Structure 1
């Protein structure tokens, strides 16, 4: 009996607090979404103002004209948004690492994805199309075996892919000057991509809440089955 109690205590100590990191990840996602809302507003302002007679900021052949006050403020908005996205990424990864560690302790099984993929799975081409979602799903199923994955996880990931593949969402290839030019000439694709990013941030917040709630309830129940989380 004493040995079983010692093993139970050791198992409990192996769990890492996940509620606070989950709340911080939710906050980071919502801040990143808000940053993209502001960015979209500025792109609408650029489209309404119209391209200056001097042409786009990037004149070609390495020549860049002086930015207007509106264009300069858009540069500031995108820079601030980049800072918030970086903060969101750090908070999300901190939550995901704890979630994965707890899921492993709960199930006693080796996770399907090696720990290195929690970090590099987001940046390696092709792999980044499904590994991050797979890590979240694997941690959820280990925490709440037999339960259905929250719908918000799939909504989050689908919208994230739209924003990423579009090339003008969270992960974009164009410089800020080139995006300003696109706001003048093809604003709708930019706004649709922004909407996907904002939607992904909101859905991601619901997903983090639902997955965290399932794991916390399992931990508090000492490994008992948990109901399907809302989301």
Structure 2
């Protein structure tokens, strides 16, 4: 019987060690919570806008309605600024976290990454491929980060990506409706569509938090567990 082979570094990468994703993961999750707060503010603004536009569409007039309409427009613009600010801040930290866990995934399992490393960031910004590359990259990271003897299912990642895509298209549809709205009734419909979009964005952010925390936890635990043991041959 031959002697047991020594356990290599992670997945056979000489001297490679993963870097902790815990700090970035917590920061990304916290900022995703800020996105949820901004979306809740936007939902309130959508409801106010929808109610005022509905009154105007029903023929309700008077200075009170016009004052409410002005306040609704100001509220809607403020919600938009809050959403954009939260999104940009979250995007910066989230992409830093994603890059960290992607590099770690190569340490754990260099042969398990189906896309080049550059797509980890670029895949979000290139039209068309951004509809599926980030999901594929996340799944590769997910599988590579799991415990050596464990391969959790993809339901959480797939659910997050589905809801994110729905919210993305719903937002674009709502923006188009707002640009084209030339009556109070059309504005009410646009506000209703934006309410749908913001609600889905909240769900997507909640699922994104769960994905971030799960991958962060899996990588932390896998790093602590050390390299996969190699059984004796004989």
Distance 1:155 1:179, change over 3 A: farther
2:189 aligned with 1:190: no
Aligned residues: 206
Runs of 4+ aligned structure 1 residues displaced above 6 Å come to 4-9, 175-181
RMSD of aligned alpha carbons: 3.1
Distance 1:116 1:183, change over 3 A: farther
Greater RCO between the two (CA within 8 Å, min separation 6)?
2
Structure 1 residue 73, shift from structure 2 partner: 2.6
The runs of 5 or more residues in structure 2 that have no matched partner are 1-5, 57-68, 230-234
1:57 corresponds to: none
Larger Rg: 2
Structure 1 residue 25, shift from structure 2 partner: 1.0
TM-score, scaled relative to structure 1: 0.77
Distance 1:159 1:110, change over 3 A: closer
**In 1, Cα distance between equivalents of 2:8 and 2:122:** 37
1:76 to 66, 78, 86: 78
2:139 aligned with 1:165: no
**In 1, Cα distance between equivalents of 2:176 and 2:99:** 31
2:133 corresponds to: 131
The runs of 5 or more residues in structure 1 that have no matched partner are 54-66, 226-231
Larger displacement relative to structure 2 (110-119 or 89-98): 110-119
TM-score, scaled relative to structure 2: 0.76
Equivalent residues in 2 for 1:44-83 (5 A)?
44-50=47-53, 68-83=70-85
Distance 1:211 1:42, change over 3 A: same
2:22 to 19, 22, 25: 19
Conserved? CA contact 1:32–1:85, under 8 Å:
yes
Distance 1:183 1:40, change over 3 A: farther
Distance 1:30 1:70, change over 3 A: same
Distance 1:110 1:159, change over 3 A: closer
Structure 1 residue 217, shift from structure 2 partner: 0.7
1:104 corresponds to: 106
1:34 to 37, 44, 69: 37
Higher normalized helix content (fraction of residues): 2
Conserved? CA contact 2:49–2:73, under 8 Å:
yes
**In 2, Cα distance between equivalents of 1:42 and 1:128:** 29
